[in-house]
Amino acid sequence: MSAFGPPPLPAGWTEHIGGPGGQPYYYHSASQQSTYVRPLPAFPVIPAPPIPQPQKKKEKPLLKTPIPGTEWLRVKTTGGNTFYTHKGRKESFWVIPEDIKEAVEKLENAEAHEAEQAKLQQMPQEGEVSRIEREMEVEVKRIKAEVQELVKRKKREEPEPLDEVVITKKARVEEEEDAEVGSEAEDEDESEEEWQKEAEEQLAAEAEEERQKREEVRLAREVEEASARKAQEKQRLNMPDRVDLSLDEAKALFKTLLREKDINPLHPWDTSLPLFVSDPRYVLLPSVSARREAFDEYCRDRARELREQNVKKEKAEANPKEEFERLLREEVKSTRTAWHDFRRAWKKDRRFYGWGRDDREREKSFKDHLKELGEKKRAAAKKAEEDFFVLLRKSGTIGSDSVWKDVKRKLSDDPRYDAVGSSSLREELFNTFLKARGSLSSISKPDKPWSSEALDDRQDKRKRALKEREEKVRAQRGRTVTEIEQCRLGLREEEGEREFRTLLTDAIRDPQSTWDGALHQLESDPRFTNSPLPRDQQLHLFHSHISQLRAKHLNNLHALLSAHTSSLATPFSMLPVESIAKSLPATKLGLDDRSLEKEFNKWQRERTHEARKAFDEMLAENAFVEFWGRLGKMGGEGVDGGVAAEDLGEDEGEGFGGKVDMKVLAKNVDLADVVKTLKNEKRYIMFEHVPEERERWIRDHLSGLSAPKLSVHV
């Protein structure tokens, strides 16, 4: 909305409300013309200055109150609003979050209770002050009444003036008498004014005295309140007036103060000081420097604690596999649970889709959990059966003629009875117990005791069996020790080979090094002297390492040659031999011009061989060459006798009608058509320097193609 008003109407125009929807229109009385468009004045209108809008002050936090038992703060702003903020997550809400509603209610109830207590404590003091003020008002009224009474009494004691004066003298004498009478009246007025001033001064002095008394009462009340607050704080903190503490104890109490106030470790000393300077524990340390030092230590320790808490929290939140396994443990209680049912119920839960590449991996973990759950249940069932047998055996009242219906009443209170979930299973276990007990009791004792010879034979057999067993155990132990030793040697050899390879990587970096030349350098390293490898294996590893170094530098040299070689026909003389010979790969390999030329020719031969293989692959992959080359090998008109003329266009076929023989068309495809198809191929362009051989290769490929296999229609 603009701050400027509409311009004034020109002379003769008037504004009226009567249009549709209350729209104004304008009427000119002289011309009797009406319009909805506001006419503009003929003179330029100076716009009125914009009305300055009062700048609204920015709303800022006024009072921050920690909510006990949480990390939330209740913040009241300068605009009278209230919001709630979380110190750790840096989140703020205008409404009370659900998780702290009870804590906020407790805080508000505590504040209301404190306000009532303060009001109750203040009421007697206010009553005392009001009583003193009423007494002062009564005293002032009494003094005013006494002063007025004194003034009236003085007036009554003064002589009344004469009502009539007899004039017997001359006019001059009368004037003198009148002057004397006037001076006497003035003296009386002055004395009355002095009396009133004295009364007013007395009243002012008494009022000042009463004001001083009231001020003394107020000061005494403030001192009493301060002493009461101090006594309460001392009682709450349980601190005497003077405490003799060591520096470490005082520092520990000071840090405890900072922790209770929840001082932010990222805020500086000056910002945090007003938050705890009023606490009595602030003065436990003797100097400001000692307090600053303790404050810095607290900030470092507290910041470290907060970082560790955040790291633990992130680790706990960043382990989706544990969340998925916890979901399985909490929700999958039966081994009959199907994967598709579990997936349908929990597929939108973060714990479900937050782990695993796909559903296949989650299903595998689900099945593993079912397997573990089944094993746990089987183990629990087995243990319950064993405990049930122990219960039956220790009951002491079960005989061969016992009935399960009578026995179970005596055992039903034992938890081992309830551990077996099925009543039919309990009865079956009871019958099994009776059968086992009967079979044991049916074993009869021997009719006659063993003879001494039989006992000796049994002892000999036992000794021989024991001796054979010891020999078997000894042999098995020997084999086990041998296997362990072989494994240890194998591990040691593998570790030694790894360490020797590391030694070669660290010590041997020249591809021209020899074993005899490097032996002196290797012998100074403890990894060589302590190596468990034999000398021939060390020599083999050395030559393998030299081959790897040489291959690496040869690859770098080939890359350098490729940068200076445009085609397969580039001769060695066209290369910048001097710069290549001074390059790092050539220097490391120790190549002179002659050996460099040999390496270049060898590399060109390898490139030509690879390019020739790529050329043959290109011919085999090209669909045009494959189709027409094979079609040219067909005899006759093919299976269908050619292509019907009515299937072609008006000008196609031989003599504008009949059939077209595809073999004839294939015969018309010559080498030039194949070259047009292949001319943009990089593998074809590589042999631009030998066009005759390239054409011969194409002819050889076409001649080697066979006729296509014909379809068989049944």
| CB-based contact 549:515 (threshold 8 Å) | no
* CA 468 from centroid of its chain's CA atoms: 67
Burial of 185 from C-beta contacts in 10 A (0-12 / 13-18 / 19+)? exposed
* Mean pLDDT of the 626-640 span: 62
Nearest to 606 by CA among 553, 557, 568: 568
Check whether 714 has a pLDDT greater than 60.
no
Check whether 371 has a pLDDT greater than 60.
yes
Q: Which pLDDT score is estimated for 47?
A: 52
Collapsed DSSP state (helix, strand, coil) of residue 92: strand
Strands 72-77 and 82-86: antiparallel
**What's the whole-number average pLDDT of the chain?**
76
Q: Which pLDDT score is estimated for 389?
A: 81
Check whether 59 has a pLDDT greater than 70.
yes
Question: pLDDT tens-digit profile of 235-245?
Answer: 554 444 455 67
Question: With bands split at pLDDT 50, 70 and 90, how would you rate the model's confidence at 425?
Answer: confident
For residue 78, give both structure tokens: 């300068």
Please state the φ and ψ torsions of residue 250, each to the nearest 5 degrees. Answer: -65, -40
Question: Which range among 300-304, 516-520, 632-636 shows the weakest confidence by mean pLDDT?
Answer: 632-636
* Residue linked to tokens 């390293």: 525
* Mean pLDDT of the 383-408 span: 77
Q: Is the dihedral of CA 631, 635, 641, 642 positive or negative?
A: positive
Question: With bands split at pLDDT 50, 70 and 90, how would you rate the model's confidence at 4?
Answer: low
Question: With bands split at pLDDT 50, 70 and 90, how would you rate the model's confidence at 639?
Answer: very low
Question: pLDDT tens-digit profile of 442-469?
Answer: 544 444 444 566 667 777 787 888 888 8
Pick the residue with more confidence: 154 or 400? Answer: 400
Question: pLDDT tens-digit profile of 664-709?
Answer: 776 667 777 788 888 888 888 888 888 888 888 888 887 777 777 6
Burial profile 479-497: b = 16 or more Cβ within 10 angstroms, e = fewer: eeeeeeeeeeeeeeeeebb
Instruction: Compute the CA torsion angle 148, 151, 157, 161 (nearest 10 deg).
Output: -120
| CB-based contact 102:95 (threshold 8 Å) | no
- Residues paired with residue 491 on neighbouring β-strands, in sequence order: none
> How far is 248 from 205, CA to CA, in rounded Å?
60
Question: With bands split at pLDDT 50, 70 and 90, how would you rate the model's confidence at 227?
Answer: confident
> How far is 147 from 139, CA to CA, in rounded Å?
12
Q: Which pLDDT score is estimated for 122?
A: 67
Check whether 172 has a pLDDT greater than 70.
no
Question: pLDDT tens-digit profile of 135-155?
Answer: 777 777 777 777 777 767 765
Question: With bands split at pLDDT 50, 70 and 90, how would you rate the model's confidence at 168?
Answer: very low
What CATH architecture does domain 9-43 belong to? Single Sheet (2.20)
Most confident of 250-264, 462-476, 587-601, 604-618: 250-264
Please state the φ and ψ torsions of residue 36, each to the nearest 5 degrees. Answer: -90, -10
Q: Which pLDDT score is estimated for 646?
A: 41
Q: Which pLDDT score is estimated for 298?
A: 93
Q: Which pLDDT score is estimated for 267?
A: 92
> How far is 675 from 618, CA to CA, in rounded Å?
12
Question: pLDDT tens-digit profile of 475-505?
Answer: 877 777 777 766 766 666 778 888 888 888 8
Q: Which pLDDT score is estimated for 305?
A: 92
Q: Which pLDDT score is estimated for 196?
A: 63
* Mean pLDDT of the 352-362 span: 83
> How far is 629 from 707, CA to CA, in rounded Å?
8
> How far is 511 from 545, CA to CA, in rounded Å?
9
Contacts made by residues 41-46, CB under 8 angstroms, sequence distance 24+? 41/7, 41/8, 41/9, 41/10, 42/10, 45/7, 45/8
Choose the CATH number for 247-317 among 1.10.10.440, 3.40.1280.10, 1.10.8.60, 3.30.420.10.
Answer: 1.10.10.440
> How far is 653 from 645, CA to CA, in rounded Å?
6
pTM, entire model = 0.31
Collapsed DSSP state (helix, strand, coil) of residue 349: coil
Decide whether 61-121 matches 247-317 in CATH topology.
Answer: no
* Residue linked to tokens 């590399």: 603
Amino acid (1-letter code) at residue 179: A
Q: Where are the domains of the chain?
A: 9-43, 61-121, 247-317, 320-421, 480-592
Q: Which pLDDT score is estimated for 687?
A: 84
Q: Which pLDDT score is estimated for 181?
A: 46
Question: With bands split at pLDDT 50, 70 and 90, how would you rate the model's confidence at 190?
Answer: low
Question: Which range among 104-118, 171-185, 516-530, 585-599 shows the weakest confidence by mean pLDDT?
Answer: 171-185
Contacts of 433 (CB under 8 A, 6+ apart): 389, 392, 393, 398
* Mean pLDDT of the 567-574 span: 80
Q: Domain 61-121 adopts which CATH fold?
A: Ubiquitin Ligase Nedd4; Chain: W; (2.20.70)
Pick the residue with more confidence: 184 or 339? Answer: 339
> How far is 6 from 45, CA to CA, in rounded Å?
10
Q: Which pLDDT score is estimated for 710?
A: 57
| CB-based contact 663:657 (threshold 8 Å) | no
> How far is 681 from 688, CA to CA, in rounded Å?
11
Q: Which pLDDT score is estimated for 127?
A: 61
For residue 399, give both structure tokens: 């005989």
| CB-based contact 71:100 (threshold 8 Å) | no
- Which of left, alpha, beta for 284 (phi over 0: left; psi -120 to 50: alpha)? alpha
